[in-house]
């Protein structure tokens, strides 16, 4: 029988989902030049008779067999259903297909020639775990995403020479030899389980971004990381000493994981680094030249509670976030004058030396405990100088303080739209309080533990769902 599909099932992408079903057929009567996208769910029934037929004028779709030769040239995205498990013969997929996505149950070998050279993106499902031969992957392939179960050794020349982005799944944990990863590679994302020793020459010099998984905990000797690497993300378990020469001069963003708690020796982090995030357990003293002068954004984790001396923080620092346990006295001139965003946790209750808050600090998260335990005039006399306007909004939600920040914009800027009207009213009332001077041209200090995402506290990773939302133009 035929099943009629309404137009609302379709979107604007030129794509088709291959459905594993032999008892039902789908007929689409809309008059158009191409099928946009059809997503349906069917039971796991073996295919043996029907064929896929698409008319460019009537949009007739009959689901479906392993013969893809009838797919029109307007279709460039081919997606296999969840239960598809059949082998695909050479020449079945036409050469107008650019993106192929397999369902999570597919686990058949991909023989050379099965995927046409027009394919530039390949997404393999979670159960796929097969050896790859030379020629299994089309030479034009630029993006390759393995599923969670893939855990096979990759030999030389298996990965295409134009590969741009490579993502391994959860269980991949195989040694990688030199010349296995192509020199065209721009981004690599290792899965949770990867924990192999990397030697110089394994990672290509073309790499711009590297994500290590949560199990990775290997020493990175000088020369292991590419010299032109821009962004480096470590997972939870990485806790190895960082040697001079392990990072290149082009590194701009470094995210250290949950367990990292090693001393950062002077000159290990090179000039050029702009963003540095420490993980949960980091609690080591910092020396002069431990942090390069080029750094603009610095975030400490939950456990950090070390005194910071004069000259440790770079002069160009713009944003500084302390973790929950930080509760140290901040001396005069410790905070750089360039600072515009400063975050304390609710636990912080130290007095700050006069003139310690820079004139440029127009966004500060001040603990509400200070505002509750002392009068506003006492805070002004003992905490900050007269050039700063104080505000304090009441919010007792401290459970996620390590992962939340405040996004309060001072002076002529509006409060972030994500903060509800009641909090806005509280802030306005405080700003209008007669006890606190409110010059319109001076920086502001506010406290608000509202969960608002900002770049300084976001541990950026490649979105696991990103590959499923790729749109083909």
Q: Which helix (H) or strand (E) holds 121?
A: strand 121-123
Hey, what are 249's tokens? 């001069």
Question: Please, what's the b/e burial string for 113-145 (b: 16 or more CB within 10 A of its CB; e: otherwise)?
Answer: ebbbebbbbbbbbbbbbeebeebbbbebbbbbb
- Cα separation of the two ends of the chain: 34
Q: Which of 60, 67, 23 is nearest to 43 (CA)?
A: 23
pTM, 2 dp: 0.72
CB atoms within 10 A of CB 203: 20
Q: Cite the DSSP H helix spans in 166-318.
A: none
Q: Cα–Cα distance between 261 and 206 in angstroms, integer?
A: 30
Instruction: Look at residue 42 and give its three-state secondary structure.
Output: coil
Hey, what are 138's tokens? 């089309």
279 alpha-carbon distance from chain centroid? 15
Q: Around 470, how many Cα atoms within 13 Å sit in the side-chain half-sphere?
A: 21
What confidence score (pLDDT) does residue 132 get? Answer: 97
Q: Cα–Cα distance between 177 and 373 in angstroms, integer?
A: 61
Q: Which residue has the tokens 């440029």?
A: 360
* 25-27 and 2-4 beta bridge pairing: parallel
Per-residue pLDDT of the chain (473 residues), as tens digits, is 223 333 333 333 345 554 444 334 343 333 333 344 443 333 333 333 233 444 443 233 333 445 555 566 778 888 888 888 899 989 888 888 999 999 999 999 999 999 999 999 999 999 999 999 999 999 999 999 999 999 999 999 999 999 999 999 999 999 999 999 999 999 999 999 999 999 999 999 999 999 999 999 999 999 999 999 999 999 999 999 999 999 999 999 999 999 999 999 999 999 999 999 999 999 999 999 999 999 999 999 999 999 999 999 999 999 999 999 999 999 888 999 999 999 998 899 887 766 788 877 765 666 665 544 444 444 445 455 555 544 443 444 333 333 333 332 233 333 333 334 443 444 344 344 333 333 333 333 333 333 323 322 333 332 332 222 223 33
Q: Cα–Cα distance between 160 and 119 in angstroms, integer?
A: 12
Q: Cα–Cα distance between 357 and 354 in angstroms, integer?
A: 8
The Cα angle at residue 335 between residues 332 and 340, in degrees rounded to 5: 135
Cβ-based burial of 397 (10 A; exposed 0-12, middle 13-18, buried ≥19)? exposed
Q: Which long-range contacts (CB under 8 A, 24 or more apart) does 199-205 make?
A: 199/224, 200/224, 202/176, 202/177, 202/178
Paired strand residues for 330: 352
Q: Are 185 and 166 in contact (CB under 8 A)?
A: yes
């Amino acid at each position: 029988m035929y099943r009629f599909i309404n137009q609302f099932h379709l979107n604007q992408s030129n794509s088709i989902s291959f459905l594993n079903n032999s008892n039902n057929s789908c007929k689409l009567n809309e008059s158009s030049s191409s099928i946009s996208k059809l997503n349906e769910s069917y039971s796991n029934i073996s295919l043996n008779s029907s064929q896929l037929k698409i008319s460019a004028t009537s949009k007739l779709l009959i689901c479906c067999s392993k013969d893809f030769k009838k797919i029109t040239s307007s279709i460039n995205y081919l997606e296999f259903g969840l239960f598809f498990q059949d082998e695909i013969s050479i020449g079945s997929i036409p050469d107008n297909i650019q993106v192929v996505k397999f369902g999570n149950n597919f686990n058949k070998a991909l023989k050379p020639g099965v995927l046409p050279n027009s394919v530039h993106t390949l997404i393999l499902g979670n159960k796929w775990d097969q050896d790859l031969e030379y020629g299994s992957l089309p030479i034009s392939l630029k993006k390759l995403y393995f599923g969670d179960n893939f855990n096979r050794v990759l030999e030389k020349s298996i990965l295409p020479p134009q590969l741009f982005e490579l993502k391994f799944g959860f269980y991949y944990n195989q040694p990688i030899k030199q010349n296995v990863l192509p020199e065209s590679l721009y981004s690599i994302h290792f899965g949770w389980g990867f924990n192999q020793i990397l030697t110089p020459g394994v990672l290509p010099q073309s790499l711009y971004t590297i994500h290590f998984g949560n199990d990775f905990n290997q020493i990175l000797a000088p020369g292991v990381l590419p010299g032109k690497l821009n962004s480096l993300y470590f997972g939870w378990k990485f806790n190895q000493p960082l040697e001079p020469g392990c990072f290149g001069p082009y590194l701009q963003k470094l995210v250290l994981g949950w367990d990292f708690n090693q001393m950062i020796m002077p000159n290990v982090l090179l000039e050029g680094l702009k963003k540095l995030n420490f993980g949960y357990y980091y609690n080591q003293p910092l020396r002069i030249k431990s942090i390069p002068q080029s750094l603009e954004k610095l975030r400490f984790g939950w456990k950090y509670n070390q005194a910071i001396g004069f000259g440790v923080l770079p002069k160009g620092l713009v944003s500084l976030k302390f973790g929950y346990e930080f509760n140290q006295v901040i001396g005069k001139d410790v905070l750089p004058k360039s600072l515009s965003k400063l975050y304390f946790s609710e636990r912080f209750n130290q007095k700050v030396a006069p003139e310690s808050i820079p004139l440029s600090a127009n966004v500060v998260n001040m603990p509400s405990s200070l505002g509750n335990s002392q009068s506003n005039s006492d805070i002004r006399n003992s905490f900050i100088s007269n050039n700063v306007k104080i505000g304090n909004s009441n919010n007792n939600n401290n459970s996620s303080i390590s992962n939340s920040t405040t996004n309060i914009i001072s002076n002529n800027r509006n409060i972030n739209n994500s903060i509800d009207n009641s909090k806005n009213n509280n802030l306005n009332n405080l700003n209008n309080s007669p006890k606190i001077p409110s010059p319109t041209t001076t920086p502001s200090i506010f406290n608000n533990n509202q969960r608002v995402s900002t770049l300084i506290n976001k541990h950026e990773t490649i979105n696991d769902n990103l590959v499923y939302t790729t749109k083909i133009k």
